[in-house]
Amino acid sequence: MFAYIIRRVAYAIPILIGVNVLTFYLFFVVNSPDDMARMHLGQKRVTPEAIEKWKASHGYDKPLLLNRDAGGAQRFTETIFFDKSVRLFAFDFGYSDDGRDIGHDIRQRMLPSLAIAVPALLLGLLVNITFALLMAFFRGTYVDVSGVILCVILMSISGMFYIIGGQYLLAKLFRLMPISGYDVGPDMVRYLVLPVVIGVVSGIGSGSRWYRTFFLEEAGKDYVRTARAKGLSESLVQFRHILRNALIPIVTGVVVVLPLLFMGSLLTESFFAIPGLGSYTIDAIRNQDFAVVRAMVFLGTVLYIIGLILVDITYTIVDPRVRLT
Amino acid sequence: MIKPVILWTDALLFLLTALVVIFVLYARRKPHIRRPWQRIFQGRIAAASVVILLAFILVGLLDSLHYRLPLEATSAATETHYAIEVLSVLDALTGTLRTREEKSYSAPFATHLYIKENVDLPDGGQARIYPPLEYGGRHLGDRSEGKARDIALRTGLSLLQAVLAGALLTVLLALALARKHGCSSKDMLRQIFSRRTDVPWHIILLTLTLLLAVIFLVLNLASVYHVLGTDKVGKDVLYLSLKSIRTGLLIGTLTTLVMLPFAIFMGIVAGYARGWIDDVVQYIYTTLNSIPSVLLIAAAILMLQVYIANHPELFETTLERSDIRLLFLCIILGITSWTGLCRLLRGESLKLRESEYIQAAVSFGVSHGRIMTRHILPNVMHIVLITVVLDFSGLVLAEAVLSYVGVGVDPTMNSWGNMINGARLEMAREPVVWWSLLSAFLFMFTLVLAANLFSDAVRDAFDPRTVGQRGGK
């Protein structure tokens, strides 16, 4: 088990290097730092001096890959690639284009992201499993059919409509809670209710339909028939046998997204003005702050890979049939 | 003479249409391909959603035939110059919908602007009133109290037209079917109405009639009112929504077209060849998959923006610029979304290469390339088809999100994402401007719902695991 984890972590390194090279290529080769400087300084009539100054102040004035002027190891370390890409491996994110410490920002903004994402995930799981169980229990009847149709309808609505509609109805029309904002302390709940509720509702359609297929798949298996043949009550079969086994794919599906919860949700956070990592990313994209976008790409990749490793470990815990080799 | 303009996306869209038509012609002659499709069209929900989807596709295709009008010829110039504005056949068909611009916001069916303005009175003074619209409800003249009656009359007329047209369609269909099956058309009509036909024609006719009702309503009402209101600069929201259909369809289909060659080739080769080729392909898709897709798209689009900003001379018109951006967005979306299909295909061909018919082909000395194209490819096509159809609705929805983030289609381009993005501020106004959001919602919801229902039917018909499982219903 331990050796397996070590090997999986080792596998992650070439992937991270690949991601790093790809982002480096996108950000520094497709467009040279000169292009970026010109973009930031405004398009027309930018003096070469101004470009040089911008590049120097943001650390883009070094050669891309190989510094021919320096000697020894500095040939490689005094380059943009080392400064901007290799340092990411030490989680040294550097400074954003407007001079803020990205690492500090990320640490500060993780908590608000989690404050939304974790309740939304747990509540969503509860609601989705309940609906899915209900539909699977009444499979083939009108409850099931209309439930599935309702799910498809809910799935066909863009997440943005849920947010805008929810904000308008609940916050603006009925004035049940503030439209947007964030606060630490006892007031936090007031601000969090709406985004969490909307997050749960917008996920019901796809979530419960997906989980329903798990339940149906389990319900068709032989051991379920055996359980029924033994004369077990239907509710016992549902909860003891089907639910427990169908939870395996559900749990692993949740575990893979757990690390990514830190990244927050782009839409929710930006619509509700929550100072999390999701809105941080959106702001960076809108302000064309390439340093932050690069850092978030790296962070997101690391978290995703951690999620994949966690899934493999979870499998061995929840499903004893799986053996890691 | 008008000058036809073929944008990159137009060309690709028509290429895709041609491919689909060729496939249909080919499949008609092959019973084993035809059978699952027949099963799809026998479902009532699927048949109705196909009708809706075809209507959307028709609008999208009409909107992809672009041209530029010649400017008024001046006597001095010998060569004709063309207007900078690129129009499409849809613009011509919708008539004055495009040109009837008001000053600013106006509600659906309104005869007056939504906001008060200072207006000079004839006696020299000034008043703050809701000025009458330039086009909306102009035919009413001063009798704006007759509006409700006018709308009711026009609605009734449209419904009547729709029913008549629907009846005509039914008769035509019965005649055509009767000829095909060799029975009397009266018999055929009876079969259709008693729902005894294989293909649920009664549902198709009902959907068509409803669709016709909408079309006639739009024709009769939109020619004199702004049915869905006007936006901030006074453009008709119905027109904007119609123009957005093309964008949505393009994102949903071109992305797939772009990614399919990669996914199919890499997936099958990796699964069939195994060894280091498999390792390399797996490495590539794991790496691409590890990057959160929004961020990868954002990074790529940001770089494209820098490139476009630094090379303005490459693009003749703004439409060409936004077109390139749309195409690039499709490519990027394709790069982020081919990995799932590739993984599925790899797994399936890993399984297939051990099967007996492949082993037989190998022992006959069939070349590897031929085995992959003739023996493996046809047997994984159902996975490709299911993925393509399932992805479509997700891509249409993704467009809206990406436009909101600021890395979607060009802000000057008509798209539902841009409409929703603008509606966000409109919802914060007092009084609320709700119609842009509503129409984006209606159009998007209809398209995505139809696509979702259709993809369910396709999956049920083609997925070997679900075929035969449907007895429970």
pLDDT for B468: 46
Which of B49, B303, B415, B456 to probe by mutation at the A interface, max A CB count within 10 Å? B303
Cβ atoms A57, A49 nearer than 8 A: no
Q: What is the C-alpha to C-alpha distance for residues A277 and A281, in angstroms, rounded to an integer?
A: 6
Chain B interface, best mutation among A153, A216, A285, A296, by max B CB count within 10 A: A285
Residues in chain B within 8 Å Cβ distance of A220: 469
Whole-number pLDDT of residue B147: 77
Residues 6+ apart with CB under 8 A from B31: none
**A70 to chain B nearest CA, in Å?**
30
Q: Nearest-CA residue of chain A relative to B421?
A: A160
Tell me whether A282 touches chain B (CB under 8 Å): yes
DSSP state of B99: T
**Phi, psi (rounded to 5 degrees) for B155:** -65, -45
Window A:66-125, CB contacts with B under 8 Å: none
Residues 6+ apart with CB under 8 A from B362: B371
Spatial separation of the C-alpha atoms in residues A284 and A290, rounded to whole Å: 7
Q: Which residue of B has its CA nearest to A268?
A: B401
Name every chain A residue with its beta carbon within 8 A of the beta carbon of B290.
15, 19, 301, 304-305
Phi, psi of B118 (to 5 degrees): -80, 125
How big is the A-B interface in CB pairs under 8 Å? 129
Q: Under an 8 A CB cutoff, do B424 and A164 touch?
A: yes
Q: Which pLDDT does position A86 carry in this prediction?
A: 76
Q: Which of B44, B251, B289, B294 to mutate to test the interface with A (most CBs of A within 10 A)?
A: B294
Taking the Cβ of residue B448 and every Cβ of chain A, the question of whether any pair is shorter than 8 Å is answered with yes
**A152 in contact with B at a CB cutoff of 8 Å?**
yes
Of B312, B239, B292, B258, the closest CA to residue B402 belongs to: B292
- The answer to whether B401 faces chain A, any CB pair under 8 Å, is yes
Find the farthest-apart pair of alpha carbons in chain B and give their distance in angstroms, rounded: 99
Asked if A18 and B283 come within 8 Å (Cβ–Cβ), the reply is: yes
Contact B406 A285 (CB under 8 A): yes
**Could you list the mean pLDDT of each consecutive 10-residue stretch along chain A, which spans 325 residues?**
84 88 81 74 72 75 70 70 75 77 87 90 94 89 90 90 87 79 78 89 91 89 90 87 88 88 85 88 84 87 89 83 69
- pLDDT in tens for each of the 473 residues of chain B? 778 888 888 899 999 999 999 988 988 888 888 888 888 888 888 889 999 999 999 999 998 888 888 877 665 556 667 777 788 888 888 777 777 777 778 878 777 777 777 777 777 777 777 777 777 777 776 656 677 888 888 888 888 988 999 889 888 888 888 888 878 777 878 887 887 777 788 888 888 899 888 888 888 887 778 888 888 888 888 888 988 999 999 999 999 888 898 899 999 999 998 889 999 999 998 888 888 888 888 888 877 887 787 777 777 777 788 888 888 899 989 888 888 899 999 999 998 888 899 999 999 999 989 999 988 998 888 889 888 888 898 899 988 888 888 888 888 888 898 888 888 888 777 778 888 888 999 999 999 999 999 998 888 888 766 654 443 33
Helix residue spans in B353-432 (DSSP H): 356-363, 368-370, 377-405, 416-427
What pLDDT does B473 receive?
32
Q: Closest Cα of chain B to A72: distance in Å? A: 32
Distance from CA of B331 to the nearest CA of A (A): 15
Backbone angles phi, psi at B364, to 5 degrees: -75, -10
Is the minimum CB–CB distance between B296 and chain A shorter than 8 Å?
yes
Question: In a 10 Å sphere around its CB, with 0-12 CB exposed, 13-18 middle and 19+ buried, how is residue B313 labelled?
Answer: exposed
b/e B346-359 (16+ beta carbons within 10 angstroms → b): bebbeebbeeeebe
Query: Which of B292, B303, B309 faces A304 most closely, judged by CB atoms?
Result: B292
Q: What pairs with residue B112 in β-bridges?
A: B132
pTM as predicted: 0.88
For A62, list phi and psi in degrees, rounded to 5: -90, 165
DSSP secondary structure, B14-37, as one string: HHHHHHHHHHHHHHHT-HHHHHHH
Please report where in the chains the tokens 């009664």 appear, as a residue. Answer: B202
Rg for chain A, CA atoms, rounded: 25
Spatial neighbors of B62 by CB under 8 A, at least 6 apart, are: B88, B89, B90, B93
Q: What's the confidence (pLDDT) of residue A121?
A: 93
CA B272 to chain centre: 36
Contact B8, B327 (CB under 8 A): yes
Question: What is the spatial distance between Cα B384 and Cα B348, in angstroms, rounded to a whole number?
Answer: 11
Query: Is residue B207 packed enough to be buried (19+ CB in 10 Å), middle (13-18) or exposed (0-12)?
Result: buried
Which residues in chain B have their CB less than 8 angstroms from residue A164's CB? Answer: 420, 423-424, 427, 437
Rounded-to-integer distance, Cα A103 and Cα B438, Å: 41
Q: Which residues lie below 8 Å from residue B92, measured CB to CB, with a gap of 6+?
A: none
- Tell me whether residues A167 and B307 touch, CB distance under 8 A: no
